[in-house]
Each structure stands twice: as structure tokens, then as C-alpha cells.
Amino acid sequence: MSSAASYRARSVKGMRDLLPPATALWAHVEETARRVFGRYGYEEIRTPIVEETELFVRSVGATTDIVGKEMYSFADKKGKSLSLRPEATASVARAFAEHLRERPLPVRLFYIGPQFRYERPQRGRYRQFHQIGAELIGDGGPWSDAELVLMLFSFLRALGFADLRALVNTVGDPSSREAYKKRLRAYLEPRAAELGEDSRRRLDTNPLRILDTKKPAEIELLAQAPRLMDSLSEESRCHFQDLLRALDGCGVEYEIEDRLVRGLDYYTRTVFEIVSPSLGAQNAIVGGGRYDDLIEEVGGPPTPAIGFAIGLDRLIEVLPQAARRAAVEVTGLYVVPVGDISRIELLRLGEEIRNAGFTAMLELSSVSMRTALRRADRLGVRWAVLLGEEELGRGTITLKDFRSGEQTTAERKALGADLGRLIQGASP
Ligand code: HAM
């Protein structure tokens, strides 16, 4: 037997097929994002999946887990190192610097698409995952931070979320952060023996990331450590205070989490995450923050910016019931032939129903009416439309409601009005 015959294709570990009916949920969430973000003046951007590896090294940072351990990098045919994007902010910053710098500022952009990180797959963590993100480029003031957070909450509320926790912090500007790194190092170095291996390594490379630890012993050690908040420059402190005032003023609930530093190096000042109790504390649904130096770093003019990315896979895992129902409700009609009615008549009726603004799925195979009705029911469709010689002669259709079992007649001449009245008027 050839090896080809025994090959059973499978998806790559950590990379999933998104299948119906769940894809309806994905589409619903994406449409909600487009609608809500559109109201805030955001326009869509689509950047390539592959970028030069150097872009991520310079932006996300060489010492981060994402770049150091998790990137899918490869040499192209000329030996140039390319990477599948592990996130999209670097790409958006590059695209802005390359193409959009002449546009009036601020430029408001959003994106929806897959990202790739070689992580250990588990619930809420995949190697190909999906983000909806937004970036506000060209304004450095705290009111832009507030508007972005308001947009995020407006989106989450539109999906029916009520119990999410927003955590906010500031990592200051580069000079306050450097000052703080020195103080933190001075505090931790004499206690290095109490740190785990990862944190000891970070002590040299990126001590701020130690604050992010999940290890109880390290958390305890850090309780007495100097606080970043106390190393802030006057400007950074005011920026953060103004943001908090704006969130208070607009009724946004949040908590200050002064150990929140985020796993990407480009952040300055405001950082935030949104977590869901039902996903577990390690799994943030949204992460974001300000990155005032990134665009210059990738070759653009000095341009402050802020943004966030929502982990779509995680968001959908905890999507409230109401949004699930709204997304999967099948509003279509299943058109079933009675007897040996001509399939051409069925095709014509299908077009009439669609032209009247409804979804029609036709039973075109030659199965019995019973089988066809069972298929419709199993698809979760509520309404079947029956068309036989009798209906054809009278210019009518018979509408069957699977939920109540009732049958009613509608006029084909007034199909839109009749279907609208019958379907919308039916008890839920
Ligand atoms: P991030 O925190 O690395 O930030 O990712 C944002 C969100 O993507 C996370 O909160 C999480 O929901 C989701 N995510 C990350 N990794 C995985 C994974 N392996 N599986 C499933 N979901 C995952 C960024 O990516 C920044 N670009 C956010 C940003 C935009 N900052 C400023 N602008």
C-alpha cells in the first residue's frame, strides 16, 4: 500500500478549523465590532500575515517571550528572515509610517485577523488565534486613551457582557521607567536567590516583566518592592490621573493594577487589560496600551499612539447567552417540494423569497417530504415553506412553523408583506 493511501490529514497542533454553526458567532462578533468601531470613526486596515522578523524584534522586543520563544520565523528563498505576525500593532505602525503619515491626525484604524504564536495549546490559547484590534495614531493626550476605552466597553456591552474586569496601570515614559528599573533591580538583586529561574534571567534583561509573575513566593517578595507609580515623572502622573478622571466621569468601572506591565516592550504610559472571571486570571481577553515611541522606531515621524487587541477565540468562549442566541437564530426558510413538483418552480420560489428579503434554503434532492422536513428541523430552521401543485395553482405557499406545528397560507403576490407579518407576528 502506498503511503499516500494511509495519509489522514489533520490540522496542525494549536490551529483550529472554525466550523458552522460556531462561525455564525464569529461573524456576529465581527459585525458588531465593525458597527461599533465605525461609530467612533475607525476605518479598517488589512496588513500582510508575514513581515520582516526585524519589525517584531524592534517593536515587541528581543527579550520578550513572544519574540524570543513564540514566533514562527523562517528564511525565504533569498535567506531573508520573515515571521508570521504574532500581533498586529507592529504591522499597523509600519503601515502608518510607510503609507499613511500624510493623513490628517489622528488616524483611527481597526483590524480583524489571525495571529500566530508558538505557545502551549490549552483552553483559550492557540497557535493560530484571532484578534480584533484598534489603534488610534497621532494623539498623545489622556482623553484619547479614555475614548478608546469607552469604545472597547461600548463594543463589549453591545455583545451583552456585564461581568468583565478592566485593569489599568501606567508604565510611565522611558525616563521614568529607566529610573524605576534601577530601583527595582537594587531591591531584587540582594534577594535573587528567592527568585525563580525565569525571573532571575529577567533581572538583567527586563526586570519590569518580573512584576507580571504568577508565582506566589515572588508575588510576596514583590509586595514590599518599590512601586512604579512612585517613579513617575510629573507628566506621566498627570496623564494617568486625567485618564482615571475621564473614566470616572464616563462611568467606566476599572481597577488600578500596579503590577500590570504587559508582555510587549513598546508600551509607554497607559496599559490595560480586561479579564473574565470565567476564563481564569491568566487569560486576558483584551490587552492594550499606549506606544508613543513605536512609530518612530519603525521609521516614521515621532507619533504618539494607543490601541488594544481583543482575543476573539477567548471572547467567543465566554460570550453571553443573549449574544449566542442572536447570532445563531436561523431566520431562514426551508423550501420543501410536495409531490413531484418541478424543481424549476422551486428555484423560482427561492428567488422570490430572497428578493422579498428572506433567506431560503431549497430541498432540491429527491427525498420524501418527511425526510425533507426532518432535515429542516435538524438544521434548527423554524419555518418550512411547502410548495405543491395545489399551492402552485392558487398562487400561494404553505408556511409551517416547527415550534407550534401550525400551518398557514401566504399569497405569493404579497410574499414580503405576508411572510413578514406571519414570521414577525409569531410567538417566540
Ligand atoms: P496581547 O496582550 O499580546 O497584546 O494580545 C491581546 C489579546 O490577544 C490577549 O488579551 C488574548 O486575549 C489574545 N491572545 C494572545 N495570545 C493568544 C493565544 N495564544 N491564544 C488565544 N488568544 C491569545 C497585543 O497583541 C497587542 N498588539 C495589543 C495592542 C494593540 N496594544 C496596543 N495596541
Q: Atom of ligand 1 at shortest distance to CA of 310? A: 7
Q: Atom of ligand 1 at shortest distance to CA of 135? A: 33
Q: Is the pLDDT of residue 380 over 90?
A: no
Give the residue-averaged pLDDT of 344-352: 95
Cell, residue 232: 513617575
- Residue 94's CB: how many other CB atoms inside 10 A? 22
Q: Which residues line ligand 1 (CB under 6 A)?
A: 87-89, 117, 119, 124-126, 129, 131, 133, 135, 263-264, 284-289, 291, 307-309, 311, 313-314
Which residues fall within 8 angstroms of residue 281, CB to CB, at 6 or more apart?
275
pLDDT at 328 (0 to 100): 59
Q: What is the 3-state secondary structure (H, E, C) of the chain?
A: CCCCCCCCCCCCCCCCCCCCCHHHHHHHHHHHHHHHHHHCCCEECCCCCEEEHHHHHHHHHCCCHHHHHCCCEEECCCCCEEEECCCCHHHHHHHHHHHHCCCCCCEEEEEEEEEECCCCCECCECCEEEEEEEEEECCCCHHHHHHHHHHHHHHHHHCCCCCCEEEEEECCCHHHHHHHHHHHHHHHHHHHHHCCHHHHHHHHHCHHHHHHCCCHHHHHHHHCCCCHHHHCCHHHHHHHHHHHHHHHHCCCCCEECCCCCCCCCCCCCEEEEEECHHHCCCCEEEEEEECCCHHHHCCCCCCCEEEEEEEHHHHHHCCCHHHHHHHHCCCCEEEEECCCCCHHHHHHHHHHHHHCCCCEEECCCCCCHHHHHHHHHHCCCCEEEEECHHHHHHCEEEEEECCCCCEEEEECCCHHHHHHHHHHHCCC
Give the residue-averaged pLDDT of 9-37: 95
What's the number of CA atoms in the CB half-sphere (13 Å) around residue 377?
Answer: 12
Residue nearest to atom 11 of ligand 1 (CA): 311
pLDDT at 132 (0 to 100): 98
pLDDT band for 225, please (50, 70, 90 cuts).
Answer: very high
Distance 368 CA to ligand 1 centre (A): 51
Give the residue-averaged pLDDT of 91-103: 97
Give the residue-averaged pLDDT of 152-176: 90
Distance 58 CA to ligand 1 centre (A): 18
pLDDT in tens, 68-86: 999 999 999 999 999 999 9
Q: Is the pLDDT of residue 57 over 90?
A: yes
d(CA 209, CA 62): 13
pLDDT at 428 (0 to 100): 66
Distance 87 CA to ligand 1 centre (A): 7
pLDDT band for 331, please (50, 70, 90 cuts).
Answer: low
Q: Is the pLDDT of residue 377 over 60?
A: yes
Q: Atom of ligand 1 at shortest distance to CA of 127? A: 19
Distance 11 CA to ligand 1 centre (A): 23
Residue nearest to atom 4 of ligand 1 (CA): 287
The string over 258-276, giving b where at least 16 C-beta atoms fall within 10 Å of a residue's C-beta and e elsewhere, is ebbbbbbbbbbbbbbbbbb
pLDDT in tens, 102-153: 999 999 999 999 999 999 999 899 999 999 999 999 999 999 999 999 999 9
Distance 389 CA to ligand 1 centre (A): 58
pLDDT at 138 (0 to 100): 97
Q: Atom of ligand 1 at shortest distance to CA of 273? A: 10
Distance 407 CA to ligand 1 centre (A): 50
Distance 286 CA to ligand 1 centre (A): 7
Testing ligand 1's pocket by substitution, the residue of 144, 314, 317 carrying the most ligand atoms inside 8 A of its CB is: 314
pLDDT at 329 (0 to 100): 56
Q: Is the pLDDT of residue 335 over 90?
A: yes
Q: Is the pLDDT of residue 378 over 70?
A: yes
Testing ligand 1's pocket by substitution, the residue of 264, 269, 273, 290 carrying the most ligand atoms inside 8 A of its CB is: 264
Residue nearest to atom 31 of ligand 1 (CA): 288
pLDDT at 66 (0 to 100): 96
Give the residue-averaged pLDDT of 380-385: 89
Give the residue-averaged pLDDT of 189-216: 89
Cell, residue 368: 420524501
pLDDT at 292 (0 to 100): 97
Testing ligand 1's pocket by substitution, the residue of 111, 126, 131 carrying the most ligand atoms inside 8 A of its CB is: 131
User: Which one, of 417, 422, 345, 344, lies nearest residue 382 by Cα?
Assistant: 422
Q: What is the pTM of this model?
A: 0.89
Give the residue-averaged pLDDT of 319-348: 84
Distance 219 CA to ligand 1 centre (A): 23
85 and 67 in contact (C-beta within 8 Å)?
A: no
pLDDT at 101 (0 to 100): 95
Q: Is the pLDDT of residue 163 over 60?
A: yes
Distance 314 CA to ligand 1 centre (A): 10
Q: Is the pLDDT of residue 3 over 80?
A: no
Q: Atom of ligand 1 at shortest distance to CA of 66? A: 3
Query: What percentage of the chain exceeds 90 in pLDDT?
Result: 73
Q: Atom of ligand 1 at shortest distance to CA of 262? A: 2
350 and 411 in contact (C-beta within 8 Å)?
A: no
d(CA 240, CA 105): 22
Q: Atom of ligand 1 at shortest distance to CA of 131? A: 8
